[in-house]
Amino acid sequence: MYALALENQKELVDAIRKAALLNAVQHDGKAQAGPIVGKILGERAELRPKAKEVTALINTVLGEVNGLTVEAQRQIVEEKWPETLKKQKVEEEKRLPPLPNASKYEKIVTRFSPNPDCVLHLGSARAIVLSHEYAKLYKGKFILRFEDTDPKVKRPSLMFYDKIREDLKWLDCEPDEEYIQSDRLPVYYEYAEKLLSGGYAYVCTCVPDEFRKLTLESKPCPCRSLPPEEHLERWQRMLNGGYTEGQAVVRVKTDLGHPNPAVRDWPALRIIDTVKYPHPRVGSKYRVWPLYNMAAGLDDHLLGITHIIRGKEHLTNGVRQEFMYRHLGWEYPEAIHYGRLKITGAFLSKSKIIQGVKDGSYSGFDDPRLATFAALRRRGITTEAIKKMIVDVGPKTADVTLSWETLYSYNRKLLDLVTNRYFFVADPVRLDVVSVPKVFHAELPLHPDHDDRGKRKYTVAPKDEDGLVSVLIAKQDAESLEAGVMVRLMELFNIKVTGKADCGLQAVFVSEPYQDARDAKARLIQWILAKENVPCKVVMPDASLTEGVAESACKKLKADAVVQFERFGFVRVDSTVPELTVYYAHK
């Protein structure tokens, strides 16, 4: 069968078959020839002169392997080389593309650097999750850096430092180190002086409009060519109050002919009247504050960041900062710029979130209408779902648009495996069933795949000689039930509606077997014993309230539990006193 005359042919065929099977289970049952040829010839230099024959042999074996079903391939691999499947699983989880030039660095260091002027929301998820995941992947370091150097316009607020720390903790992205830029002003001053005395920066006292005009024409302002001594003197005046806000700014020299005017001699430090706008942490201690590119640019180097993972809106900032790096003789870190991640319908404007919370149009930063992590947490959206979604999107540069439904489907997959099931009926309507012939014992599994979790058990006993059983069903179900139509009360029995009245519905017992309901294509609806239930309020994603009753097993639920209300949706228990209140996640 095999034409190749080789020694140890059997051993070679076995090796090829193993490689082919492993490759096949990774490629939906169809092994690819290329990697197998590469592997076999790579491991066996002596075969390379016979590459043509070896390739023919590989193709023959490949034909056999690819002729098997995926299940058969997998079974062979599981039996013979179970360890390879485990390895494959681990690799599947590490699906992020490798970092550029990772081997150049002894330790990979990434950072997430929020301004503590608001809580975090889904818009930050990509920066956080990717930076943290990469640090973890390379056994590196993940740094949290608070960028709080604008006490006036993007004013930080004390409570947000802690809220951001909490959010990262919840996301399971806790930093290895934390820095706060408002602690580091002396560092920025030191480098400002270095740049000024080296002639790489200057204190510009021009009226902003005039400076802009000159810059657009690629012309230097009169300050630019003054000697460093003059600038150091002006710098002292900035520090000691000789200038007021807006009168002087330190600019880093770039290329005045740079095609992008926004890059030309960018502002690095400015004066802020901190008597009028005290910083929440350091008050009026400093009046000269670094701007974004100065502080972030210096810190990325000084804190040893090897890979900056950020949105592509920062591309120009990178260009600006590279000038400063050159002045200081530093090498710019690797920068990965990902595209915009738009989430349709998610509300991400920081200023509007803060305004809405302040004026009471939102109940708080965890109002269910918001896309803040606090709100997602409250609704039972899991960190795993957020992370998985972000990792799947990865750091690609193309813009990506996701919807709430995308996030929900990630979350649903995870929750479906673990959440217990319960009955809840919204806007309950009474349903009286007559002619129930005996006492029924309804046994409802907490989870269809986990018998060990046990069952919710209800005794359904007819009350009088009419065999009357009263249950509550959801208004929506009640409205759609027509007289004469059979329905099944889930895991209980089949009934037929006989009439509707103001106070509820009447029905008559039909039969017990589930098969009858199947044959009649009867609808299955959830029910709750009229005399055994728990009032329950559901806070919906639009902040409206749905009221109803849950089955009495829900009395045992504890705050923070996430459960599935069957045919209604996944909910997170928010509180149990004074009454059961849950937040709705999604269908």
In this complex, which beta carbon is closest to Zn ion, that of residue 206 or of residue 343?
206
Task: Return the structure tokens found at 434.
Answer: 């007559």
Phi first, then psi: give them for residue 55, nearest 5 degrees: -60, -40
* Cα→Cα distances 146→116, 149, 156, 180, 305, Å: 6, 9, 9, 5, 15
* CA atoms within 13 A of residue 210's CA, in its CB half-sphere: 9
Nearer to Zn ion, 13 or 206 (CB): 206
Tell me the CA end-to-end span of the chain in Å, nearest whole number.
58
Supply the minimum distance, in Å, between the C-beta of residue 261 and Zn ion.
15
Nearest 10 degrees: CA dihedral of 30, 33, 34, 39?
100
Cβ proximity to Zn ion: between 226 and 282 the closer is: 226
3-state secondary structure 112-128: ECCCCCCCCEHHHHHHH
Counting contacts by CB under 5 A, is residue 249 touching Zn ion? no
Q: Which is nearer to Zn ion, 237 or 475 (CB)?
A: 237
Stretch in the footprint of Zn ion (CB under 5 A) among 204-212, 286-294, 445-453, 561-569: 204-212
Q: How far is the CB of 324 from Zn ion (least distance, A)?
A: 18
Distance between CA atoms of 505 and 267, rounded to whole angstroms? 74
Structure tokens at 109: 């260091």
Q: How many Å apart are CA 444 and CA 39, to the nearest integer?
A: 54
Cα separations in angstroms, 328 against 17, 193, 200, 236, 297: 58, 12, 9, 21, 11
Return the structure tokens found at 11. 């051993």
Query: Judged by CB under 5 A, does residue 573 bind Zn ion?
Result: no
The distance of closest approach from Cβ of residue 197 to Zn ion in the complex, given in angstroms and rounded to an integer, is 18
Provide the sign of the torsion angle of the four alpha carbons 299, 303, 305, 309, taken in this order. negative
Q: Which is nearer to Zn ion, 210 or 519 (CB)?
A: 210
Q: Interacting stretch for Zn ion, rule CB under 5 A, among 24-32, 219-227, 339-347, 495-503?
A: 219-227
Give me the least distance between CB of 331 and Zn ion, in Å please: 30
Cβ 249 to Zn ion shortest distance, Å: 8
Token readout for 30 is 């169809």
CB of 239 to Zn ion, least distance (A): 18
Q: How many residues bind Zn ion (CB under 5 A)?
A: 4
One symbol per residue from 26 to 55: x for binding Zn ion (CB under 5 A), - otherwise; what is it?
------------------------------
Q: Phi/psi at 485 (nearest 5 deg)?
A: -95, 140
Compare residues 206 and 573 and give the one whose CB is closer to Zn ion. 206
In which residue are the tokens 């740049």 written?
Answer: 195
- Nearer CB in complex with Zn ion: 223/415: 223
Beta strand pairing status for 545-551 and 424-426? antiparallel
Query: What are the Cα distances from residue 294, in Å, to 120, 251, 336, 337, 570?
Result: 24, 10, 19, 19, 47
Q: How far is the CB of 190 from Zn ion (least distance, A)?
A: 23
Reading the block at residue 59, the tokens are: 């193709």
**CB of 337 vs Zn ion, minimal distance in Å:** 32
Q: How far is the CB of 268 from Zn ion (least distance, A)?
A: 13
Residue 204 or 335: the one with the smaller Cβ distance to Zn ion is 204
Closest contact distance (angstroms) between CB of 222 and Zn ion is 6
Q: With respect to Zn ion, which residue has the nearer C-beta, 201 or 415? A: 201
CB atoms within 10 A of CB 12: 20
Q: How far is the CB of 191 from Zn ion (least distance, A)?
A: 20
Amino acid (one-letter) located at 547: E
Specify the residue for token string 């309230």: 545
Smallest gap from residue 206 Cβ to Zn ion (A): 3
Instruction: State which of residues 127, 204, 390, 580 lies at the interface with Zn ion (CB under 5 A).
Output: 204
Peptide bond into 578 cis (omega under 30): yes
Cα 67 off chain centre by = 41
Q: Between 22 and 248, whose beta carbon lies closer to Zn ion?
A: 248
**Contacts of Zn ion in 281-300 (CB under 5 A):** none
- Based on CB atoms, which residue is closest to Zn ion, 204 or 585? 204
Which residue, 133 or 265, has its beta carbon nearer to Zn ion?
265
Pairwise CA distance, residues 402 & 128, whole Å: 17
**What does DSSP assign to residue 121?**
B
Contact range with Zn ion by CB under 5 A, out of 223-231, 242-250, 352-360, 489-497: 223-231
- Least distance from Zn ion to the Cβ atom of residue 223, Å: 3
Please state the closest distance from residue 413 (CB atom) to Zn ion, in A.
59
Instruction: Say how far apart CA 108 and CA 478 lie, in whole Å.
Output: 60
Among 19, 22, 143, 221, binds Zn ion (CB under 5 A): 221
Binding segment for Zn ion (CB under 5 A), chosen from 30-38, 201-209, 241-249, 371-379, is 201-209
Sheet of 201-204, strands arranged across: 201-204, 249-252, 267-271, 288-290
Give me the amino acid identity at 111.
Answer: R
The residue (of 68 and 226) whose beta carbon lies closer to Zn ion is 226
Among 25, 40, 223, 481, binds Zn ion (CB under 5 A): 223
Q: Which residue has the tokens 């009934």?
A: 495
- Contact segment (CB under 5 A) with Zn ion among 37-45, 202-210, 423-431, 477-485 equals 202-210
Residue of 135, 185, 195, 206 that binds Zn ion (CB under 5 A): 206
The interface region with Zn ion, picked from 115-123, 196-204, 396-404, 551-559 by CB under 5 A, is 196-204
The C-alpha angle 73, 75, 76, rounded to 5 degrees, equals: 70
Looking at the Cβ atoms of 206 and 294, the one nearer to Zn ion is: 206
**Candidates 83-91, 200-208, 549-557, 563-571; binding stretch for Zn ion (CB under 5 A):** 200-208
Asked if residue 537 lies in contact with residue 576, where contact means CB atoms within 8 angstroms, the answer is no
The contact set with Zn ion (CB under 5 A) reads 204, 206, 221, 223
